[in-house]
Structure 1
Amino acid sequence: MTKINNSDKEELVKIMGELLEPHIPALSDAFQRFGQWVENISQKHSALINNLSTIDWSAVNKRLEEMPNRSRKAMEIASRQGWFFNWEGSLQIVLTLIDNIESAGEDQIQIDEILKQHYLQYLDSYTAQLGANHPERQTAIKAAVSAHKDLGVQGYYLSIPVFLAQADGLFSEICQTSMAMSKPRNRQTNGVKGLDWVKAKIGDDAQAKDLLSPLFVLHELDLLKSEGIRNAEFEQTGVLFNALNRHQVLHGEVSDYGSEINSLKAFSFLAFVGLHLPTILASAETKQG
């Protein structure tokens, strides 16, 4: 490698100086403006920086760690009223929903209003996600959503069977199990047929079990409650069963199911099966390596 002598270095410095001299004012101005920008940003966000420094991050972390367990309890409350929710939204959306459900407790009117407003707000978003994740079902789902939104009470009679049927088909497809929502022939087995497949997939993942908790009692919920159980409950209580029930709707046993609440409940189940279930299964599989 050729070594540069002192004379050459001096000449190089002189040339560089001549090249830069005309631009020194502009460079000086640029550095000055950059310094001012940094100062402005610092002043503008100083309050935010100060606020961040006062946050109890250990409490935040604890709150996040408790989310799956709190979600399970909130899902249990919601599912007893015929509702399902998912974790497809932002963290803030999910936390707010859990907080609101916990506050409402077992108050059916409040639970209905909380979940109704949630699904009215995010109906289009969930519909788009369902269509993107399950393109072969997009036409049917979008048609049902349009009926729900545009046709009033008559639309609910059209949307509910489609939401339930698509959820049924998706559950069988995801679980790779024919008629996955039906009761197993082995009466000693608790739960619907597809549950065994789900259990095998998530293994001992406690978090996944929390986040999929409604599936473990699906056969006990009003939505899938069998005719035998419905009749037995009527004999015991004298109260006529009038909740949304998949079998009654899809087999034409009832014709008075068309309401906005029932349509949104059916959609909530579709979103749970079509969006939430695959996400949790994928997460559990990733953890298992």
Structure 2
Amino acid sequence: MEQFKNLIDPKLLKRFAEGIKRFEEISNDGFVKLASYGWYIDADISLGYITGLMEKAINENQEYLDDYFSEYYRTSMEEKMGIISRKHENRSKIIEEAVYCHQNGKYYASSTLFLSQADGICSGLLFKNRKNKEALKQYIAQKKGANFFSILMIAIENTNTIDSFYSKTNLDDSKLNRHGVMHGLDMDFGREINSFKAFSLLVFVSDFIDRL
């Protein structure tokens, strides 16, 4: 091991260690803040970039987050659809139809389908209010053990914008709320950005819940 360390630039090792430290310092607050804006990271975003996105969320730079994630998923949606469809073959037709709806501007349909499939991957436990979040936490705990990805689960283990009780007075049109969508209370959510947010949640649970 010592021989291996000697082959690596000490400055590179130092930057890497600093990056890990910064990630750990802000991860608890950072992932919750990202989720408060409706965004969830996936397995293809690098650790350094994740840290940067969390810092943007902590600093309340919503415009940057909306622009970044919208462009990110605009260019990668089809590729990620293929990955999720192969991983969850029993859901593939639904997911492919949801992406088709998104690409054709049918954002009410795509948002609803993305949300339902994200919940399905979590055995119907994803969207719980504060009182019932314990069921989701127990489900995750049974799967995760000491897995590194468990640190990411704080994004869904806490009640946030997506699964809070729906109140139109507390939500603007760019905030996606599952209760409002699935119970027909919100009739203004059919926007591209909300469909992207729902898709980001689907990719998150597909990438990380199954790795626990």
Scaled by the length of structure 1, the TM-score of the pair is: 0.62
User: Which whole-Å CA distance do the structure 2 matches of 1:240 and 1:161 have between them?
Assistant: 20
User: What residue number does 1:197 align with?
Assistant: 139
Deviation sequence 1:8-36 (CA, Å, 0-9, x none) = xxxxxxxxxxxxxxxxxxxxxxxxxxxxx
SS of residue matched to 1:124: helix
Equivalent positions of 1:126-275 (< 5 A) are 126-149=80-103, 151-152=104-105, 155-172=106-123, 179-181=124-126, 183=128, 191=133, 193-203=135-145, 205=146, 207-217=148-158, 220-227=159-166, 230=167, 239-242=169-172, 243-275=175-207
Q: Which amino acid aligns with 1:260?
A: E
> Comparing both chains, which one has the higher relative contact order based on Cα–Cα distances under 8 Å and sequence gaps of 6 or more?
2
Counterparts in 2 of 1:90 and 1:158: CA distance versus 1, 3 Å: closer
1:164: how far off? 0.6
User: Which whole-Å CA distance do the structure 2 matches of 1:102 and 1:182 have between them?
Assistant: 26
SS of residue matched to 1:253: coil
User: What residue number does 2:77 align with?
Assistant: 123
Q: How many positions carry a matched residue from both structures?
A: 202
SS of residue matched to 1:212: helix
**Equivalent residue in structure 2 for 1:82, among 38, 44, 50:** 38
- What RMSD, in angstroms, separates the aligned Cα atoms of the two structures? 2.7
Counterparts in 2 of 1:138 and 1:262: CA distance versus 1, 3 Å: same
Check conservation: 2:33, 2:54, Cα contact below 8 A.
Answer: yes
Identity of aligned residues (%): 27
1:253: how far off? 1.4
User: What residue number does 1:6 align with?
Assistant: none
User: Which whole-Å CA distance do the structure 1 matches of 2:110 and 2:190 have between them?
Assistant: 9
1:158: how far off? 1.3
User: Which whole-Å CA distance do the structure 1 matches of 2:187 and 2:45 have between them?
Assistant: 37
After the TM superposition, list the runs of 4 or more consecutive aligned residues in structure 1 that deviate by more than 4 angstroms. Answer: 52-55, 70-73
1:90: how far off? 5.9
Unaligned runs of 5+ in 2: 1-6
User: Which whole-Å CA distance do the structure 2 matches of 1:226 and 1:100 have between them?
Assistant: 26
User: What residue number does 1:8 align with?
Assistant: none
Check conservation: 1:84, 1:268, Cα contact below 8 A.
Answer: yes
Unaligned runs of 5+ in 1: 1-51, 173-178, 282-289
Q: Which amino acid aligns with 1:109?
A: E
